[in-house]
Structures are given as C-alpha cells and as structure tokens.
Structure 1
Amino acid sequence: MLHFFSNLFNTDGFVPRWNCGDWSEGHGWLHVVSDLMVFAAYFAIPLTLWYFIALKKHQVPFTLLFFLFGAFIFFCGVTHLIDATLFWQPWYRLSGLVKLITALVSWTTVIALFRVMPRALALPGMEEMNKRLQAEISQRREAEEERENLLTLERTAREKAEHASRMKEEFVAVLSHELRTPLSAILGYTTLLREQTSADHALSQHLEVIERNALSQKRLIEDLLDTNRIIAGKMRLDVQSMDLGMVVESALDTLRPQAMAKGVRLGKVTDGCTVSLRGDPVRMQQVVWNLVSNAIKFTPSGGRIDVRLERVNSHVEITIEDTGIGIPEDDLTSIFDRFTQVDSSSTRRHGGLGLGLAIAKTLVELHGGSVVAKSPGVGKGSTFRVALPLPALDTESGESHRRHPHARPSSKGEADLPSLSGLKLLAVDDDQDARELLRWGLGQYGAEVIVAGSAEEALALAKAEKFDVLISDIGMPGMDGLEMITLLRGQTDGQNSDIPAVALTAFAAVEDRKGALVAGFDNYLSKPVDLGEVVVVVSRLLRRR
C-alpha cells in the first residue's frame, strides 16, 4: 500500500495516450476538449449547489444528501480532467485512485438516498402544500377578522363606558347644583333669622336644628361628589404650606356645636406640638372633620372625644379617641370600604351613607400617610390614628400661619363682621330665592344690592351704572357666569371691566374653581355659603383693591 502511494505519480511502464493506438489529431483533441468541458461543468455544478445550501440551510431539507451529491459530481469531473491529461502524462495510478474515490462517494450517496427516501416520500407535494398554505391563510384571515371584531367591540364598549361615565359626572354635577342651591337659601335665611330672633331662646334652638340638619345634607352631597371623583381617579390635592394644628382646630370649631347638641365633650390635646407641612389644608381639614364627626355620631350623650396631635418618631400623628359604642374586631378593616357600615340593617340607629371613613382614608393616602382603627371591643370605644410621614413635611417654622380660608366662620364672630355700608353690589343668579337672599342678607350689612336673573341682564346693568363688587352664579341658562365675566373683562371702555368679582356657585369641583379664576373671577365660594363668608370675602377684595 505504501509502495502504491509513493509511486502514485510515477509513469514508468505507461506511455501517453497519443502514443497508444492510431490517434488522429482531430480524434484526440475531441476527447481532450470534451473531457475538459465536462470537468468545467462538473466543477461549477457542485460549487453552485453548495453555495445555495449554505444560504438556505435552514429552509432546505436533507442538506447532507445535497452535499454528497455535489461531492459525487465534483469527483466525476476530476476523473474527466485526469482523462484529458493522459494524452500527455500517463498517471494511470492517480486516475485509478480518483475513480475509486468517485465510486465510494457515489455509493455513499446511493445509501444516503435510500435512507432519506421514506422521509422524502412523506413530504407533501406542491398541490398539498398549496392547500395547506391556503388553509393557513384562511385561518389567519379569520383570526384577523375576529381580532378586528374584538377590537371593535372593545372600542364600542369603551366608548359606551366613557359616555356613561360622562353622563354620570354630568348627572352628579347637576344633582350637586340642584341640591346646593336650595340648601344655600335654607342656610342663609336660617342665619338671618337666628340673628333677628336671638332673644327668643326656643326659636333660636329650632333654627339651630334646621341649620345643623341642612349642614348635614351639605356634607352628604360633598361626600357623594368626592366619592365620584375618587372612583373616576380625579381626586386632586391643592398642595401648599399649612399649619396642621390650625387645620385640626378649624375642623373642631365647626364640630363643637354638633358635639354640644348631642351632649358629647370634645377635647383637644396638642402638647405644644406645632407642625408645618406641605399638603392640602382643605382636604386635611376634611379628614379630621370626617373622623371626628364619625366619633360624635357613635358616642352617646355624656361621652367624651379627645383629639391629639403629636410627633412620634419619624411621623406626626392625629389621634381621635372616643368612649362610644366601639367596633367589632371583624369590622376594623372593612369600615374603610365605601358604603360600608357596621350596622346596615333597616333598624340601624345611626344615619349616613358610609362614605366618610373611605374618603378620609383616600385623602390620607394621597398625602403619603395611613389611617388605622382600633377598638377593645363593642361598648368600649374606638381610636382612629392618622400618621403622616415626616419626610413629606416642611419643618420650616418661619412662615406665618392663618386659619384656613375655607373654614366656615363661627356664629360667635359674626357680630364682628365688617360693614358693607355705602357699597353698591351687583348679584347675579337665575334662582329667585338665591337672589333675594343676597339682596336682603347683604342689605343687613349696609350694602345696596342690585339683582339680575341672567348674565345678559347683568351685562346690561353693568353697562348702565358703576358697581363696587360683582357676585355671580356660574351655572345659568343661556350665557353662563364664565362667559359673562370674560365679556365684562374684555370691555376696554367699560366702567365695570375691572370690578372685583366673586363666583358664588353650586359647582364645587376643583376644576370649577380653577375655571372661574382663569375666566376672570377674583374669588370663588361654593354653595351653600354663610352670608358672613360672603361679607368677609367682599371686604377683603375691596381692601386688596
């Protein structure tokens, strides 16, 4: 074997093919040229085949078989190349070796063909492939149509839900307007009657009952509106610097008459704690109001409620502790759910919608805090604790603090309200009772009040004579208050274009307040309002001018 390979290119004993037989020149070159052409073709075919397999190896089945087939063709071409050279170089030993290699590759290809034949026969034909492709295309088209139908249904459902949400918001806004407007008249006239009949103790008490119940209805309306905002994700905080102690005191001031009427003692312990922080004073006052009013509701006559404000480690706490009816252990968490009450039967002793605690919890969490309820058991009182983290607090104490402007003035201070003597006011409201309340009520403080039942009438009056202050409703038929104040401010030569203006309306959302200020009003009061509030706001606006 070694001797064979060492003499592979040895031509001894062989003669070139030109010297074997009677070759004519034409006959010999016919063989040479033909063999070379076959070699060139057999060399190009496998190269092209291998290049194709390299590019499509993941898409073409049986790649090894294609490689063997290319090798077979290549070695066949080499045998033709050697046959062409035998006319000059008689290396028959090399020719025999190449033919042996060609034979081995050929049989390897044959064996590979037999092995892949069952799998190849199992492959679908072009017709079947087309059918499968058409079926897949149909399935995808159906899936796409189903997807489009689902998207259409989803869009329709979303549009209906958004429409229903808008309708609900509009209904709640209209409901608020319709309920607040008569409440404003009730509270306003009640206040005036109490001032005029202060000597009649029994009548004063009766009027106080009317006022207290009207305020309770006002709170129910506000709770419904706040719950609607919370559900819609539209509850926003008007963040500013505030004194938490003053916020707590303002809330307690409004609740003391209610506690006294029920015979419940209301105490406050601050331990000299002064806390300045960034937050919404109106909403924090609402939190305290809701928690304390809840304690008053469930504390029997002769009971006591203590409110504490103190710093504890890394946070500040507001604690409301009462000696009331207590809370069952199973209800300590669920009482913060909307519309949930411990006693929800038709024979329950305590009224309410079950919204106050849920709203308080949401507002505290919006401030980054938490609220928890604890109770030793039924009949043993309860404790509500609000915790606000100190990292969210503004500890600078150099800022002066004042009672929050939205706190309702107490009746004690109404005798100290400023006089409106000599002032000429223009009051605009489409509700006759509201107009008469402003005309008669503000007239008690010395003002001359001219009333208008529509925005158009008010603009005509403003064009005819000069007024000191404008007090206007927003929601009116035809032209509303926002459009009216915009037109009034736009009068370059108008004598009332820069008049101090107060929006007095039953639309009480934060967006409504901002919209009124942007339109041109200088201040905003939501119905029902205390006439004392109106007097104070009017006086402040005039001092500012």
Structure 2
Amino acid sequence: MLKHNAIESAEYEHFSPNPALEQRVEERTAALSQALAVVEAQKLELENALRMRDETQRQLEAELEDAHLLHGISAMLIDENTLGDLYQKLVDAATLVMRSDFGSMQRYDEERNQLELIAHRGLNDEAVQFWKWVHPGRACTCGRALAVSGRVIVPDFERCEFIEGSEDLIAFRKAGARSAQSTPLLTRNGRLVGMLTTHWTRTHEPGERELRLLDIVARQAADLIERNTSADALRHQTGRLLEADRYKNEFLATLAHELRNPLAPIQTGLVVLKIGKSEQAPSVLSMMERQLGHMVRLIDDLLDVSRISRGMVTLKRERVELGAVIDSAVETSRPLITAAKHKFTVTVPGNIVWLDADMTRVAQIISNLLNNAAKYTPPGGQIELVAEASGAEVMIRVIDNGIGIPAAMLPRIFDLFTQVDAAIERSQGGLGVGLALAKQLAEMHDGRIEVHSPGAEGGSVFTLRLPVANAAAMDPAADRRPALGRAAAAAARVLIVDDNIDAAETLALLLEELGYTTSVVLEAPKALQAALAFAPDVVFLDIGMPHLNGFDLARQLRGQPALKDVYLAALSGWGSDEDRARSRDAGIDHHLTKPVMLEEVTDLLAAVTRRV
C-alpha cells in the first residue's frame, strides 16, 4: 500500500503543471513557427524568382527570335529588284510574321478611292479576280479597314455581322479562308498607300506579339512603297524634263528656221531695190510685205500662247453670226490653200446661227485649223470645212486627206511645239503653236476641239464645238466698234514720238509719201514742247521710252488745253490686255502693236480724218 502511494505521489509530481517550462515551450514553438514562415516566404520568393527567370528567358528567346525574323525580313526587302518583286516580298513577310495560310497586298488608288490587288500568297485565280478591286465598305476585312481607316480583325467569317450573307463570304468559303485581319499601310505623314491582309484556314485571332511584328513590317513596307513611288515619280519627271528639253531645242531650231525663211527674201528684196530696175519694185515690195506679214503672224502666235498661259487674254464677246466668222477665217487662210492648189469646199448651215464669242479669236481658231490642214496635205489635196448646228452647240469640222496622224501622236497633238511630221521633205513650216493656241482659245469660249485620224496617210478630221447663243440676234446695223477719239476735220499733221530713230523716220517718210505732214521727236521729254509748237492732229507715241514713258507723256499731252482734242495712238511692242488698259487709263485713243502693217496706220488716219 505504501509503495502504491509512493508511485502515485511521484506521478503527481511529474505531471503536475510547470508554468516555467510551459512558457519556454511556447516561446520555442513560436520561434520555430516564425522561422518556418520565413523559410516558406523565402521558398515562395525563390519559386517566383525562378518563374520570372523562366518567363524572362522565354521572353528574351521570343524577342531574339523576333529580331532574327525582322532582320531576315529587312534583308529580304532591301534586296528587291523590281517594284513587283518588292510587293511580293512584303506579302511573304506578312504571312511569315502572322503565321497565316494566305496573304495579299493592295495598292490604294487615290483617283478611284479603291484598293487594287497587286501581290498575293496562296490565293487561287478565282479569288484573285474576285478581289482585284475593293471599294470602301465592301464585305471583307480590307474593305472594312478602308472604310474605317484602321485595322480590322475578324476571327470567324461565319460569325461576322458585316460579312454575313454576302458574296464575299461565299468567295471566302471557296478559297478555304475562315478568318483574316487587314492592316492599312500608312506613310509617316499618315497618307494611305496600301493594305496588308492575312488569312487563316481556321478560326483565329492574332495575338499582341503577332500584331506588333506586323506593325513593324507594315511601317517598313509603307516606307519602301513610298520610296519606290517617289523614285518612279522622279524618273517620270526626269523623263518629262528631258523630253521638254528636246522639244525646246527642236523649237529653237524651228524658230530660227522659220524666221530666216521670210528674212532671206526680205534681204534679197532690199538688194534688188538698190541695184535692180524700177519696174521690179512693185513685185519686190509685194513679196517683202507678204514675208513680213508671215513673221508678224509667227510672233503674234507665240505672244498669244504666252498671254493665255498667264491668264492675260480677255475675250471681247459679242453677238456674232457664224457665217461671218467662217468668212473671216477662210479669207485669212485662202492664200495658203490656194498656193498649194488644194480643192477647198465650205458648207455652212442654211439658217443663221449666232454665237456669243470673240469674233477675232474664233476666226483665229478656224484659220489655224485650216492652215494646219493646208500645211499637212500634199499639193492638190482636198480640204473641207463643214459647219452644222446640233442642239445647243455648233460643230465646225475641218477635213483633209493629208498625211494623217499616227496613233501615238494623237494624245499630244495639241501640246505646245508639237508637230506631226518635222521631216524636211514633209513639213511646210510652222512652230507647232497653232493647234495648242486653237485648243486654249476654244476652251476659253467654253468649247473644245477633238481630232480623229485613222493613221499615216489617212487624213484627219478636227472638230471644233462651240455653244450656240441663247438670245435672238442683235441689230446687225449696230456699230459695235469702239469709238475713235475726236480730231480735227482735216487731220493731216502727224507727230511721231519714238526713241528708235529708224522706226520713227521710216514711218515719217511713208506718211509723207501719202500726203501727211510729219514731225519726229526722238526724246520723250522734248515731245510736249514739240507738240505745242507743231499742233498735230494725230500723235503716234512709243510706250517703252527712257526718261519718260508713253503713258506719262500721254497724260502730259492731255493736260494741255491746246492739245485736248489731239488723237493719241500708242505704237508699241507691248500689246497685252493690261498694256491696252493702261493706254486707255492714260488717255490714249488707240493702241497698235509693233510691227504695224501699213493698212492699220492708213485705216486709222483715214478714220480720224473723216471724224469731226
């Protein structure tokens, strides 16, 4: 019993609570738990670090792969031979980076506002033909991208609202395409130059990495396309400049030839007048006058082209009868037609046709067409002028059986300095200005000129179309000529003011031969006193004189009461509409352009003499 009690006592002592020990156990347990938490945290951190390392490694490997891919693409694109090769390589690059089954590239046509298929990969002929041209908003990714001006991705054609039920969907099914993306090709200034599209045979939506690579390729593609387009435009411009330079050289040579042609007989005529017989003078002078008139027409044509090009020609529109215009043109061209012994017929409408036009300029158009026909029709050929009214317009056709116009020349026939056949044995002279001038004048009248020719030796037909006047004809008896200023009833005294002594004294000698009393002043500042002393009825004054120009001199003359009724006529090499307007503002009654034909001077003096 005592032993049992002793054991119980010992067990009690052993298992009895020990606060100190329990506290130490608890502290140790907490320390171990904390240490374990640190280890767990370190383990988790290490695992995260390992995952990040693996992810970084994978990312670096992917970027390295992308870099190798882009490097290969760059090398491939730089080594292009032709523009077509470049386009194909761009499509290959796009399908490579997108890992697609098909690819296509389109060029943006600004004029048509459409995409034109220019390269593809994997598309069959039917698909190529079907998507040859794509307009904005068409039921495909490229049409949608063109309409919204941005990238369009369709993961599944069968579930796309804007493609559903369209012919494009049927075409996609036939081609085996199920999904696609289209990326616009934009230059650095934002101009659209094309579209890159990739297709997959399965449902697919490209990832961020694929699109990022595609954007890099698209940027490079846009730059390369722009570079090649600019280079092509530069080559084209260089070709045009070289062609223009060739035209310039041909024109200068032709101009020299055409000016020497009349100068040679004029020079010979002067020699004949000096050493020849007196009875030869009338025929020699007539010849010299014709040749001088030819030179004047050449120079006038050149000046007209220059003035029209600069917008310095103003039409003097009035109500004119078509028949009168044609008569004027035929009168001008008949000597050339007669000299070549052409058979010439004129057909005009039986009824009166009225035009609101500048009669002189329209007659000039028709005359140029007739001259062209006479020039390029062999001697003894046939020329017809046929005019007919058709609705709101009149058609004037000039038909010849001459050398014709090759098909390659038809688009350029109205270009300045262009001649159909410049061969010495074929050409009848000219500067290649007449048709260009005729076209410009026709367009200023809201008309146009058309040309047709079956080719060499087939003759040609030039058709001038002009609008017919709407209102009834004006009184034909009405005098539409500008009033000539007042002069004395017996105008016989003429003062000539010109710093060119040869021009001034030659005109004076001519007028004296015709019975006029003349006086010549070579220095403009002395002209006012000379006019007061001479009391002229008419003053011919040059415009471009040193120290005092003709405009200012005219104002001085008009400022003198004794000279207020004198008739002032400008005689100048400056003859634009602006120059004529300045003459009117200065008080000058009439403006003549050098070289002036004798008839112009005598007609003016006769008209002034008749007026009170």
How do 1:282-297 and structure 2 match up within 5 A?
282-297=360-375
Whole-Å separation in 2 of the counterparts to 1:250 and 1:426: 33
Whole-Å separation in 2 of the counterparts to 1:458 and 1:276: 47
TM norm structure 1: 0.56
8 Å Cα contact 1:427/1:450 also seen in 2: yes
Equivalent residue for 2:565, pick from 492, 498, 503: 498
Which structure is higher in RCO with an 8 Å CA cutoff and minimum separation 6?
1
Counterpart of 1:451? 520
Task: Kindly state the Cα deviation for residue 394 of structure 1 after the two structures are TM-superposed.
Answer: 4.6
Counterpart of 1:279? 357
Cα 1:515/1:220, change in 2 over 3 Å: same
Counterpart of 2:496? 427
Task: Kindly state the Cα deviation for residue 336 of structure 1 after the two structures are TM-superposed.
Answer: 0.7
Q: Deviations over 1:133-180 (max 9, x none)?
A: xxxxxxxxxxxxxxxxxxxxxxxxxxxxxxxxxxxxxxxxxxxxxxxx
Give the AA of the match of 2:395. Answer: E
Task: Kindly state the Cα deviation for residue 470 of structure 1 after the two structures are TM-superposed.
Answer: 1.4
Whole-Å separation in 2 of the counterparts to 1:193 and 1:395: 57
Q: Superposition RMSD on alpha carbons, in Å?
A: 3.7
Give the AA of the match of 1:384. Answer: F
Give the AA of the match of 2:416. Answer: R
Whole-Å separation in 2 of the counterparts to 1:464 and 1:311: 59
Structure 1 position 534 matched with structure 2 position 612: no
Whole-Å separation in 1 of the counterparts to 2:407 and 2:599: 44
Counterpart of 1:508? 575
Cα 1:206/1:540, change in 2 over 3 Å: closer
8 Å Cα contact 1:473/1:503 also seen in 2: yes
Percent of aligned positions that are identical: 37
Secondary structure of the structure 2 residue equivalent to 1:360: helix
Counterpart of 2:327? 249
Task: Kindly state the Cα deviation for residue 360 of structure 1 after the two structures are TM-superposed.
Answer: 0.6
Counterpart of 2:198? none
Cα 1:403/1:354, change in 2 over 3 Å: farther
Whole-Å separation in 2 of the counterparts to 1:307 and 1:521: 40
Task: Kindly state the Cα deviation for residue 423 of structure 1 after the two structures are TM-superposed.
Answer: 1.0
Give the AA of the match of 1:527. Answer: K
8 Å Cα contact 2:355/2:467 also seen in 1: no
Whole-Å separation in 2 of the counterparts to 1:396 and 1:186: 51
Whole-Å separation in 2 of the counterparts to 1:447 and 1:380: 56
Give the AA of the match of 2:553. Answer: M
TM norm structure 2: 0.51
Cα 1:402/1:211, change in 2 over 3 Å: farther
Counterpart of 1:473? 542
Counterpart of 2:403? 325
Q: Which has the larger radius of gyration?
A: 1
Unaligned 5+ residue runs, structure 2? Answer: 1-260, 483-488
Counterpart of 1:211? 289
Q: Deviations over 1:313-351 (max 9, x none)?
A: 221122212232221233223101112222246876343
The structure with more helix, counted as a fraction of residues: 1
Cα 1:271/1:230, change in 2 over 3 Å: closer
Whole-Å separation in 2 of the counterparts to 1:322 and 1:402: 37
Whole-Å separation in 1 of the counterparts to 2:415 and 2:298: 16
Whole-Å separation in 2 of the counterparts to 1:401 and 1:331: 46
Task: Kindly state the Cα deviation for residue 372 of structure 1 after the two structures are TM-superposed.
Answer: 0.7
8 Å Cα contact 2:491/2:537 also seen in 1: no
How do 1:149-160 and structure 2 match up within 5 A?
none
Cα 1:469/1:185, change in 2 over 3 Å: farther
8 Å Cα contact 1:188/1:437 also seen in 2: no
Whole-Å separation in 2 of the counterparts to 1:244 and 1:290: 17
Give the AA of the match of 1:308. Answer: V
Give the AA of the match of 2:476. Answer: S
- Paired residues, what number? 344
8 Å Cα contact 2:344/2:382 also seen in 1: yes
Cα 1:208/1:262, change in 2 over 3 Å: farther
Cα 1:194/1:394, change in 2 over 3 Å: farther
The structure with more strand, counted as a fraction of residues: 2
Equivalent residue for 2:455, pick from 377, 380, 385: 377
Task: Kindly state the Cα deviation for residue 484 of structure 1 after the two structures are TM-superposed.
Answer: 0.7
Secondary structure of the structure 1 residue equivalent to 2:476: coil
How do 1:270-419 and structure 2 match up within 5 A?
270-344=348-422, 349-390=427-468, 393-400=469-476
Secondary structure of the structure 1 residue equivalent to 2:413: helix
Task: Kindly state the Cα deviation for residue 224 of structure 1 after the two structures are TM-superposed.
Answer: 2.1
Task: Kindly state the Cα deviation for residue 265 of structure 1 after the two structures are TM-superposed.
Answer: 4.0
Equivalent residue for 2:554, pick from 470, 480, 485: 485
Counterpart of 2:306? 228
Secondary structure of the structure 2 residue equivalent to 1:338: coil
Secondary structure of the structure 2 residue equivalent to 1:438: helix
Whole-Å separation in 1 of the counterparts to 2:419 and 2:480: 31
